[in-house]
C-alpha cells in the first residue's frame, strides 16, 4: 500500500516569517510612494502570493512591477532570512515521518527562495521535497503548487491532508479534493480558517502530529 501524504504550508505554518515579510512589503510601499497599510494588514501579507496581497492593499497595476521589484530586493538584501522555525515544528515533523508518512512542503513562496531557506533552517532534511511557486508569482497559485507536488509522486498516496494557516491553503487544497487542517499560530484573521472550510484547527505544534494522524485515519 502506498503511504499517506501530508502537504505542508511554509510561512505561518512551519516558519514565523512575518518580520521579513513586513520589512520587504514596507520597502515596496516606500519605493512606490503609496500609503503604507496598517500593521495588522501587513501581517496578512505572509502566505499568499505577494501580487495578490499588493493588489488587495492599494497597489495599482501600473505600479505592480515596481512594488514587486522593491519587495524582492529587500528580501534578497536580508529580509528573507529574518525568520525562524516555530518551536515544536521539528519534533512534529519527526513524529510524522516516524509514523511512515510522506511529507511535502507546498508553499506560495517562490521555489528559488523556499528550497534554500528550508535547507538553511534544517527543514529540508525532515521532509521529502519542497515545492514552491515560480519567481513570477502572478503565474501561479496555491492550487498549482499543490498540483505540482501531487504530480511528483510515483504512486498516488493512500490518503492526503494539507496543513496550513491561511484561507488560500484551504482553498488551494480543495481544488484537488484534499482536506486541510488549519493551524492557529499563523497569520489567519479570526474565523478565516473555519470560513474557508478547514476540517480541524490545531492550536500548537505539539498537537499537530496527533491531529494529522487522526485526519488521515478518517480519510482512509
**Residue 86 and residue 163 in contact, taking contact as beta carbons nearer than 8 Å:** no
**Do 56 and 144 share a structural domain?**
no
Lowest model confidence (mean pLDDT) among 45-59, 109-123, 126-140, 151-165? 126-140
The reported pTM is: 0.91
Count: domains in the chain = 2
Structural domain that includes position 111: 5-16+85-219
The CA radius of gyration of the chain, in Å to the nearest whole number, is 17
119 plus 77 within the same structural domain: no
Distance CA 181, CA 203 (A): 11
For position 136, what pLDDT does the model report?
Answer: 76
Asked whether the predicted pLDDT for residue 105 surpasses 60, the reply is: yes
Q: Which listed residue (9, 11, 165, 169) is catalytic? A: 9
Residue 82 is a catalytic residue: no
Q: What percentage of the chain exceeds 70 in pLDDT?
A: 96
Q: In this structure, are 12 and 23 located in the same domain?
A: no
Reported confidence tier of residue 95, pLDDT bands at 50, 70, 90 = very high
**Predicted pLDDT of residue 139:** 62
Same domain, 103 and 188: yes
Question: Could you tell me if 64 and 57 are in contact, meaning their C-beta atoms sit under 8 angstroms apart?
Answer: no
Q: Which three cell numbers stand for residue 150?
A: 501531487
Per-residue confidence at 43, pLDDT binned at 50, 70, 90? Answer: confident
Residues 92 and 73 in one domain: no
Same-domain check for residues 65 and 146: no
CB atoms within 10 A of CB 123: 22
Q: At 203, which CATH number?
A: 3.40.50.1000
Beta pairing partners, 11: 15
Say whether both 68 and 176 belong to one domain: no
State the Cα angle at 94 between 91 and 99, rounded to 5°: 130
Q: Which residues pair with 104 in a beta bridge?
A: 7, 129
> How far is the C-alpha of 219 from the C-alpha of 156, rounded, in Å?
14
Query: What CATH number did the domain enclosing 52 receive?
Result: 1.10.150.240
Amino acid at each position: 500500500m502506498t503511504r499517506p501524504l501530508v502537504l505542508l504550508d511554509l510561512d505561518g505554518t512551519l516558519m514565523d516569517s512575518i518580520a521579513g515579510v513586513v520589512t520587504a512589503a514596507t520597502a515596496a510601499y516606500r519605493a512606490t510612494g503609496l500609503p503604507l497599510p496598517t500593521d495588522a494588514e501587513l501581517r496578512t501579507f505572509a502566505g499568499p502570493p505577494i501580487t495578490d496581497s499588493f493588489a488587495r492593499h492599494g497597489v495599482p497595476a501600473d505600479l505592480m512591477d515596481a512594488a514587486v521589484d522593491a519587495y524582492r530586493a529587500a528580501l534578497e538584501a536580508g529580509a528573507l532570512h529574518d525568520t525562524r522555525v516555530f518551536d515544536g515544528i521539528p519534533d512534529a515533523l519527526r513524529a510524522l515521518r516516524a509514523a511512515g508518512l510522506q511529507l511535502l512542503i507546498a508553499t506560495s513562496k517562490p521555489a528559488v527562495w523556499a528550497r534554500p531557506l528550508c535547507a538553511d533552517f534544517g527543514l529540508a532534511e525532515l521532509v521529502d521535497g519542497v515545492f514552491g511557486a515560480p519567481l513570477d508569482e502572478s503565474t501561479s497559485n496555491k492550487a498549482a503548487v499543490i498540483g505540482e507536488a501531487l504530480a511528483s509522486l510515483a504512486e498516488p498516496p493512500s490518503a492526503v491532508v494539507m496543513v496550513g494557516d491561511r484561507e488560500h491553503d484551504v482553498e488551494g487544497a480543495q481544488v484537488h479534493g484534499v482536506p486541510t487542517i488549519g493551524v492557529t499560530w499563523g497569520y489567519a484573521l479570526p474565523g478565516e480558517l473555519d470560513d474557508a472550510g478547514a476540517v480541524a484547527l490545531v492550536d500548537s505544534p505539539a498537537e499537530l502530529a496527533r491531529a494529522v494522524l487522526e485526519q488521515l485515519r478518517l480519510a482512509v
